[in-house]
A and B are shown apart, each in its own frame.
Chain A
């Protein structure tokens, strides 16, 4: 029964994707996408419900045919990339794809044979968490895309080709690949899922085919190809010298013999870092914004980057004992968190702020994985969960706002509280969940801080302290922009598609549920995983404090949706303008020439202190140096071992 469910989750989206590719009617597509999203969500939740609280469960499954098919898919994906590289004359992408093909073929021919992974698929609580995120958040985004893409197509120039079938097919293919990644214990299969997500996002980013989109999609593919190549090289090593192709086995061996696993751990970590868009590879995720918003939501919240941190969290027991990969992951994650939080201050483009915040938070998860203690994993898993739900809500809200106010600039979101009352509140909920106590993300950050203190990671404590302060700055000023209220603003919310309301409503409900139910989630999902890996329970925050946070979350949610924006009993007065107000309810005043002027205010961006120009090179150089040194140290360690 369970195996069937696993297979269903991996194959069903694939089938849907194939059908969507040929369906051209908009009405039919709506039914198919809506229905199958519901099916996937229900099946995912059913799987979670069935296996809740159980330890690790493995399924005896090995198939030569599947392995060959995976290799074939790998090659086919590279062929697609080569095709695009030739068409758009991008030499580097082409070369990397050719190298990748050669490596995959070599791997199949010389390394993979004779190594059986007896238990090809498995389930544990981390997988369940990912399944829930992919199933609910991922398919929710697909539903949202229905309405969004209709508007998007309407904004396209006359006669533009309707490429939506491909778009939706890719979205579902993405989900299928994610399931493959989280279920596979066979690293060769995992690699296939990994590569499918890489190429899918390549195609999605380049969806609009504008010069910018093509440029950014190639940047994405080049960076992730590097990660893919690192992944294959790691497999060469694990199969060639250790005779291991199972992820679980690798983690166990790595935990027992840190020295032998250092090099492959560094390589796998590199793959995870590229996928999780850590510095110096963060630019691909920034570039991904050119894609339609559902793509960004999918990449940022439930898939793609989450695959990266998923792998890192899986490898955490290795990092816990192995110095070189641990230091690399911890420092890259920590530095990325700090610097990307800084750069987010200087951005006024909402999607760019979200992108930087994603990268920063992934950095935090990465750092947690690098620390590798049970407590760190507890924090990392919660960061992953809350980031997924909050960030997807935010992207969806920004996407909808963009279609209705014609801008994604935060400055243009002035008065959104009046113009789009429901959407603004949803957005505010998402923002609060990202950075402030008592919401989940901050409670997880709190646990992170405690972990860093317990393990004596002074550098990380400082990075976290200053990074969090920056986080407060850029979220609070955005929140302030949204909160502004003035009478007489026109409500433009009427034309929002129902599918968009459904998706954003589901995400908001999820946020509140997850925040209020945090102690329960800890008990049912996160603790069992920590126990299954480390054999101990670990929770840095007492249940009492978790419950307190839960109560406060409920309180704030009620305030946000029930009490704000009411009229109250107080007499209405105008704001003080230190002169004569020209028009009631506005900030227009009589100026010194007896004309009228408007008082305007922009948020602070502090370009000189936190601008991209100053900070980006620092981060790129720092992180590149860290990675190069770690690689060199790991290689040297291997040589030392060989001698």
Chain B
């Protein structure tokens, strides 16, 4: 296992969530689930984060924000769509302003459906994400070595 998977720092962005999933994300950090056991920290800063947790669907307005946060994260990085709205737009999919799931804006690596998504599901998704992170880290390493 590379170090990338031992200290996954997340950034959480509420695209247009009803706050249901947001509360579950925060619940995962609380003593009940205590994800810091796995080195997971909720940073407020894309430049420090490895994993991008998005809750809620993407709309005309926040799509630029989602894209910008994604762009500002450094490689290797993983995107996790938390909750059904983030996965596909959910019950809001046909609202006039809603574009759809997060994958309409940026490449998503793991989908964690649910309304609201349960903390166990989030943790499970993050663990899956770590596998992808590991692969990406290795690819980046290889690229770096090639560069040299």
Contacts and interface: CB of A to CB of B under 8 A. Distances in A.
Does chain A touch chain B in the assembled complex, meaning CB atoms less than 8 Å apart?
Answer: yes
For this complex, into which size category does the number of interface residues on chain B fall?
under 10
Contacts of B47: 573, 576
A589 to B, nearest CB: 10
A581 B69 CA distance: 10
Nearest to A589: B68
B45 interface: yes
Nearest to B63: A580
A187 B47 CA distance: 68
B65 A579 contact: yes
Interface string B5-21: 00000000000000000
A590 interface: yes
B72 A574 contact: yes
Contacts of B72: 573-574, 576
Contacts of B68: 579-581
B138 interface: no
B64 A590 contact: yes
Interface in A424-454: none
Interface string B44-68: 0111000000000000000011001
A580 B45 contact: no
A573 B72 CA distance: 7
A576 B64 contact: no
Contacts of A574: 72
Contacts of A576: 45-47, 72
A323 B29 CA distance: 67
Contacts of A590: 64
A581 B46 CA distance: 14
Nearest to B67: A580
For this complex, into which size category does the number of interface residues on chain A fall?
under 10
B65 A580 contact: yes
B45 to A, nearest CB: 6
Interface string A561-586: 00000000000011010011100000
A192 to B, nearest CB: 66
A6 B47 CA distance: 65
A576 B72 CA distance: 8
Nearest to A592: B61
A579 B13 CA distance: 11
Interface string B100-128: 00000000000000000000000000000
Contacts of B45: 576
In this complex, which of B46, B65, B68, B72 has the most chain A Cβ atoms within 10 angstroms of its Cβ? B68
Interface in B71-92: 72
Interface string B123-135: 0000000000000
A596 to B, nearest CB: 13
Contacts of A579: 65, 68
Contacts of B65: 579-580
A580 B46 contact: no
Contacts of B46: 576
B77 to A, nearest CB: 13
B97 to A, nearest CB: 14
Interface string A585-609: 0000010000000000000000000
In this complex, which of A574, A576, A581, A590 has the most chain B Cβ atoms within 10 angstroms of its Cβ? A576
A573 B70 CA distance: 12
A579 B65 CA distance: 6
A92 to B, nearest CB: 62
A579 B63 CA distance: 11
A606 B68 CA distance: 36
A581 B67 CA distance: 11
Nearest to B47: A576
A574 B46 CA distance: 12
Contacts of A581: 68
Nearest to B61: A594
Interface in A28-64: none
A579 B68 CA distance: 8
A488 B113 CA distance: 45
A585 to B, nearest CB: 14
Contacts of A580: 64-65, 68
B106 to A, nearest CB: 14
A590 to B, nearest CB: 7
A586 to B, nearest CB: 14
Nearest to A579: B65
Nearest to A571: B74
A573 B45 CA distance: 14
A574 B47 CA distance: 10
Nearest to A594: B61
A570 to B, nearest CB: 10
B108 to A, nearest CB: 20
Nearest to B68: A580
A576 B48 CA distance: 11
Nearest 10 pairs of A and B residues by beta carbon: A580-B64, A580-B68, A580-B65, A576-B47, A579-B65, A576-B72, A573-B72, A576-B45, A581-B68, A576-B46
14 contacts: A573-B47, A573-B72, A574-B72, A576-B45, A576-B46, A576-B47, A576-B72, A579-B65, A579-B68, A580-B64, A580-B65, A580-B68, A581-B68, A590-B64
Given A576-B46, A580-B65, 4 more contacts: A573-B72, A576-B72, A580-B64, A580-B68
